[in-house]
Amino acid sequence: MINNIIDFSLRNRLIIGLLTLAMIAWGAYNFTILPIDAVPDITDNQVQVITVSPTLAPQEVEQFITFPVEVAMANIQDVKEIRSISRFGLSVVTIVFKDRLDSYLARQLVSEQITMAQGDIPEGYGKPEMMPITTGLGEIYQYVLEPEPGYEHLYDPMKIRTIQDWIVKRQLSGIPGIVEISSFGGFLKQYEVTIKPRTLVGMDLSITEIFDALEKNNQNSGGSYIEKGPDVYYIRTEGLVKNLDDIKNIVIKNIEDIPILIGDVAEVNLGAPPRFGAMTKDGKGEAVGGITLMLKGANTSQVIKAVKERVEIVQKTLPEGLRIHPYLDRSDLISKTIKTVRNNLIEGGLIVIFILILLLGNYRAGLIVASVIPLSMLFAFSLMNLFGVSANLMSLGAIDFGLIVDGSVIVVEGIIYQIHRSGIKGRISRHELDRNISLAGARVSKSAVFGVIIILIVYLPILAFTGIEGKMFKPMAQTVSFALLGALILSLTYVPVMASLLLGNERSLKTNFADRIVGFLEKSHKPVLQFALRNRVLFSFLVLVILLISIWKFTRMGGEFIPTLEEGDLAVQMTLQPGSSLSQSIASSTQTEKILLENFPEVIEVVSKIGTAEVPTDPMAVEDADIMIIMKPKSEWVSAGSRDELVEKMKEELSALPGVSFEFTQPIQLRFNELMTGVKSDVAVKIYGEDLDLLYNKANEAASIIQKIEGAGDVRVEQIVGLPQLVIKYKRDKIARAGLNINDINRVIRTAFAGESAGTVFEGERRFDLVVRLCEECRNNFRSIQNLRVSNPAEELIVLNQVADIEILEGPMQISRDNTSRRITIGINVRNRDVESFISEVNDKLIAQFELPAGYYITFGGQFENLQTAKRSSSIAVPIALTIILILLYFTFYSLKHALMIFTAIPLAAVGGIWALVLRGMPFSISAGVGFIALFGVAVLNGIVLISYYNQLKSEGMTDILERVLVGTRTRLRPVLMTASVAALGFVPMALSTAAGAEVQKPLATVVIGGIITSTFLTLVFLPLIYVMFDEGFKVGKGMGKKALLILLPFFLISGTLLAQDPQSSELISMEEAVKIALDNNYQLENARLDIDKAEKLRKTSFNLPPPELFLEMGQINSSLNDRYLSVSQSFSFPTIYTSRGKLNRAITDLENEKYSMTHSEVVASVMSIYSNWVLYHEQIKLVITIDSIYQDFLSAAESRFASGDINGLELIMAETKAAAIMNVYQRINTELMVAENNLRALMNTDTRYTPS
């Protein structure tokens, strides 16, 4: 069929040309509308439900709001996780759904459950609402609204905030792709009626009366209409207050026919509600700004462009002297990362073109192959747009033009070789040229097609990724697959047509520069190959040793999820002591900004966001602030050469601020971390339990251990306790006698201190709350609470401290929950070390030095969790992909022997990738893992090219195996070197780049380059050696064949990931011995024993008497010689006290014994359960090995019967499939066995390896 496609293309050049032009037009159009972003959006499919209740403490928020919402949301299907935060006046519940659920359907389901949850929330405690449908990448444009120089005196924070809310925000709303404009900072304008308690007492008034008067005297209404003759007149009343004077003139009541007005007992002014957030900038004090939130899935570049265009329009409508100044603009990062990708692709493409022309020795052939690059990319852009894949650092970062054109290289090189091989001199006729192209296609197209298909298959594991790693790396695999698919189609259609049109009708037999280069390489390669063939066992042994050393090195490399993307700007989390005021936070952030601007020339500007914004996407306390540090390009830095070095210097300068801690990260990274795990740090250690004080103490204890570990850059314990609270505890008996009820008292307190809205004041379209509260100096006075007066139904004024006790206590600052369980987090930013080894050391140290009570436990989150998830996905997907590759190789050659030979290229390719990472000091990451996956495809492709030609020579009558190997390797040296060199060198710019975003690409490029170097060398030397050994082994005798199988066996096992148990020696152990060791080594039992000893010793002291007292007196009355007085006294307690004390101590002793027995039973039960499973898995392994040997015999018999023609290929495939299935079963049981063994060793508290007896 492949040959028919090539022949059809040669016969219908016009059709192919028109289809190519159509593809170019289609691709160009899709390129112009392709969504562009810096990185993929890896935010979970989640919905956030917020409830604002400004007067509730965290305990009440959790009990009355958070819990009902969580319970309602738990009933929704496809929910993965529910997280919540309860803090003063705010509840945020995050519901994370499985990715397969549509976002809008998820919001609909949540909306339905909110209605149900609302019924369980007490009236007046707030109404749950869904957050805008945005993501971690949603904050695309952040700005401040600031006066220009010279106009500062005209605008105060309240006036600027009013302009932001009623001019800027309204005009920016409605932009396609924008779902919300969140205002931040300044003072929210209100009409405020402030009361002095003494005035109320003098006038015999209550706050309730003032509130009722305002509420009843601020409304418009109507009275239908009246008819007068032919006309009708509609009745309308105007009673809305319009200004401050109208409010002052509202009547409260008449006393002896004298009206008491609002203005007589209160001050009426413009004011602001209690604030839970603020913004400062550049050390100059408070500022006002806004954050644009983008719709999930929108085209970032287009939305930012639309926002900027609208901002220019809004700027013209602002009052004179006021401007919109952006400080975080996502388009800057997008342009930097896309520039990095573009430069890497262009440079890599030019290198590939140069190598092609150099090694092909024909610039026309080189240009034909090179032209496939832009055409395949246009094809990829079209499919990216079709499947909703955006152009970003990850989706375009893994494209290697050398890899893409591998199939075309094989086809073009085969055509040139066929033309030279034809021996025709002078001009070649069109017919003869087409015939040679068709012959060349028939010879090499199968290798090219199957090679490209195999490269496509190796990307299947990436497509199998789910969750965050899937969102990050799937676009990469999709884009590469689209480009490879386009290149494959072009290599069978476009390339043959262009070859027939452009490849020399004149052929020269002169040796060109390319021939001389290839000739030199052939001369250098031949002695090495001959040496390997003469010393087969020695060479094979050396290769095997290198492979085993590489695997050993790989297991000690450490790992991380992905390298940190350098965004260019920095984000700092500032935290003050619990209970710090907003004013103190503003002062600290202002001082921080001054220090950064004065000491670091790299800093352009600094903006701090304190507490919570109007739309609480980030529910922070007033003690917390996110400080955005806008930096100059890295090339202009003078204080440090790297980000880590600059961060350390900044931390050193900021350490002068007392009582303030700082945690450094980056803007996008901060939002991603928070939305993915609920924590803003790279790594989160989560401790779960019920008691908040105990959680906090244990978290600080763990943090002190972690802080000492190498690589712990920022260690921050979540502040969950220490919030000072004025607690008012009602005396119900006195409330009853006073004729009051708690609801009325609560309303008065809420109105007096928080402020209660008594209506609305309209200024045209603008509306502002009319609020009643005590005056500011009264609100900040403890006595104002004690002396607050409440009116009872008899209109008597009752002082609050007569019916309630008021005291200052510390309460929880924040209550965080995961899946309804309380938890505290220790946030860690890891620096100068890989995450995997860091977490491993943290885990070891915590096990050795840290102990938790029963019911409390620890988990790890953040990047480490993502890395482990990706590894688990890969451990399933990679073996499946390798199995498919093996099956394809079999169908390529219809020989399991040849398929297994080529399969050895996979572990050999991994050798170079591993050592390339080691030499560059890079840990394993998912980026590097993707590089290994891409590498396997190239390695297999080269093996196909070589083995195919060996078989072709054999079919042409070359029976001598050594001659066939030497001639075949020499002939296919050029295409093998070309495919390898273009694939490796195409990644060189990516591997060496230092531009923005290159950090993510470097591990991938490093692995591919290093792996191709070793795999190419070993393919050209080790693969011919194996080919000879297999051929001679099957022809000459069993000895050689067994030797070959022994050499290949490790490669097959490693390639299939069927890893054996740790070769470390082990001891036999029975269940009884395991229980005994666990009991001897258990720390909890040892502690329980000590507690029993303590209780026993205490019990013996139950009847202890105090020591007797001896008194000697001399000379009290007469001389000391004659006046002596000696007395002895002994004190006793009442007898029942000794009896009670004895009973108490005996009870304590019994309790400690019971605790010991319970712990003893739990340990014994756990060991026996795990030991039983361990033995079961061992027996299952033995059974699987027995079954595997049967299936291997069955497979050998099937191969023999297939070779003799007794059975067809289908039955052989079935035998191979069953054998592979048994291997998969083995791998699963082996994994469960290792888990059981590790759990047993953990219970036994030993590192010794054991085998069940």
Domain residues of the chain, as ranges? 1-33+361-510, 45-130, 139-189+274-334, 190-218+237-271+724-812, 515-556+895-1057, 579-665, 1067-1252
User: In the CATH hierarchy, which top-level class contains the domain 515-556+895-1057?
Assistant: mainly alpha
Exposed (0-12), middle (13-18) or buried (19+): which is 947, by Cβ within 10 Å? buried
Q: For the residues 923-933, what does the mean pLDDT come to?
A: 82
Residue 1149 and residue 1146: Cα distance in Å, rounded? 5
Of 712, 782, 763, which Cα lies nearest the Cα of 163? 763
pLDDT at site 250: 93
CA terminus-to-terminus distance, the chain: 60
Residue 52 and residue 54: Cα distance in Å, rounded? 6
Report whether 798 contacts 715 (CB < 8 A).
no
Of 572, 331, 650, 373, which Cα lies nearest the Cα of 490? 373
Residue 790 and residue 802: Cα distance in Å, rounded? 11
Residue 353 and residue 644: Cα distance in Å, rounded? 38
Q: Which of 492-496, 940-944, 1246-1250 has the lowest mean pLDDT?
A: 1246-1250
Token pair, residue 702, equals 């763990």
Q: How would DSSP label each residue in 1187-1216?
A: HHHHHHHHHHHHHHHHHHTSS-HHHHHHHH
pLDDT band at 1059 (very low <50, low <70, confident <90, very high): very low
Residue 49 and residue 47: Cα distance in Å, rounded? 7
Of 1174, 1190, 1167, which Cα lies nearest the Cα of 1230? 1174
**Three-state secondary structure call for residue 259:** strand
Q: For the residues 809-823, what does the mean pLDDT come to?
A: 88
- Please give the model's pTM, rounded to 2 decimal places: 0.71
pLDDT band at 585 (very low <50, low <70, confident <90, very high): very high
The reply to whether domains 45-130 and 579-665 share a CATH topology is: yes
pLDDT band at 1125 (very low <50, low <70, confident <90, very high): low
Q: Cα dist. 485→7, 10, 453, 465 in Å? A: 20, 20, 8, 21
Across 128-160, b (16+ Cβ under 10 Å) vs e yields beebbbbbbbbbbbbbbbbbeeeeeeebebbbb
- What is the architecture, at CATH level 2, of domain 579-665? 2-Layer Sandwich (3.30)
Token pair, residue 1015, equals 């795999």
CATH ID of 190-218+237-271+724-812, from 3.20.20.70, 3.30.2090.10, 2.40.110.10, 3.40.50.720? 3.30.2090.10
Residue 184 and residue 1186: Cα distance in Å, rounded? 69
- For 1111, phi then psi, to 5°, come to -115, 130
pLDDT at site 380: 92
**Three-state secondary structure call for residue 590:** helix
Q: For the residues 523-543, what does the mean pLDDT come to?
A: 83
Residue 239 and residue 242: Cα distance in Å, rounded? 9
Using the predicted structure, report yes or no on whether residue 228 has a pLDDT greater than 90.
no
Cβ neighbours, 10 Å, residue 1083: 11
DSSP 8-state assignment for residue 128 = -
Q: 1232-1243: per-residue pLDDT in tens?
A: 787 778 778 777
When mean pLDDT is compared over 135-139, 771-775, 859-863, the highest value belongs to 771-775
Percent of the chain's residues with pLDDT above 70: 89
Report whether 1188 contacts 1226 (CB < 8 A).
yes
CATH 3.30.70.1430 fits 45-130, yes or no: yes
CA dihedral sign of residues 652, 654, 656, 661:
negative
Using the predicted structure, report yes or no on whether residue 881 has a pLDDT greater than 80.
no
Q: For the residues 351-378, what does the mean pLDDT come to?
A: 81
Residue 1046 and residue 939: Cα distance in Å, rounded? 22
Residue 56, CB half-sphere, CA atoms under 13 Å: how many?
24
Q: 129-184: per-residue pLDDT in tens?
A: 998 888 877 888 999 999 999 898 899 999 999 999 999 999 999 899 999 999 99
Residue 372 and residue 486: Cα distance in Å, rounded? 9
**Three-state secondary structure call for residue 859:** strand
CA dihedral sign of residues 508, 510, 512, 518:
positive
Report whether 92 contacts 44 (CB < 8 A).
no
pLDDT at site 1032: 59
Residue 37, CB half-sphere, CA atoms under 13 Å: how many?
25
Report the alpha-carbon angle 1111-1112-1113, nearest 5.
120
Please name the helix (run of DSSP H) or strand (run of DSSP E) that holds residue 262, with its range, or none. Answer: helix 262-265
CA dihedral sign of residues 809, 813, 816, 820:
positive
pLDDT band at 511 (very low <50, low <70, confident <90, very high): low
> In the 3-class helix/strand/coil scheme, how is 29-59 assigned residue by residue?
HHHHHCCECCCCCCCCEEEEEEEECCCCCHH
CA dihedral sign of residues 875, 877, 879, 880:
positive
pLDDT band at 189 (very low <50, low <70, confident <90, very high): very high
Using the predicted structure, report yes or no on whether residue 207 has a pLDDT greater than 70.
yes
pLDDT at site 1063: 34
85 DSSP β-pair partners: 92, 816
DSSP 8-state assignment for residue 635 = G
Residue 814 Cα to chain centre, angstroms: 23
Residue 786 and residue 806: Cα distance in Å, rounded? 7
One-letter identity of residue 153 = H
The β-bridge relationship of strands 190-195 and 766-774 is parallel
pLDDT band at 311 (very low <50, low <70, confident <90, very high): very high
130 DSSP β-pair partners: 49
Token pair, residue 1246, equals 């030993």
Q: 45-83: per-residue pLDDT in tens?
A: 889 999 988 888 899 999 999 999 999 998 898 898 899
CATH 1.20.1640.10 fits 1-33+361-510, yes or no: yes
Using the predicted structure, report yes or no on whether residue 919 has a pLDDT greater than 60.
yes
Q: How many helices (H) and strands (E) does the chain have?
A: 45, 38
Report whether 588 contacts 660 (CB < 8 A).
yes
Report whether 775 contacts 198 (CB < 8 A).
no
Q: 979-1014: per-residue pLDDT in tens?
A: 788 778 878 887 887 766 677 778 888 988 898 888
pLDDT band at 677 (very low <50, low <70, confident <90, very high): low
Query: Domain 139-189+274-334, what fold?
Result: Alpha-Beta Plaits (3.30.70)
> In the 3-class helix/strand/coil scheme, how is 752-787 assigned residue by residue?
HHHCEEEEEEEECCEEEEEEEEECHHHHCCHHHHHC
Token pair, residue 78, equals 């496809």
Q: Cα dist. 910→258, 488, 889, 936 in Å? A: 96, 26, 19, 8
When mean pLDDT is compared over 269-273, 444-448, 1029-1033, the highest value belongs to 269-273
- What is the architecture, at CATH level 2, of domain 1067-1252? Up-down Bundle (1.20)
Residue 896 and residue 1023: Cα distance in Å, rounded? 15
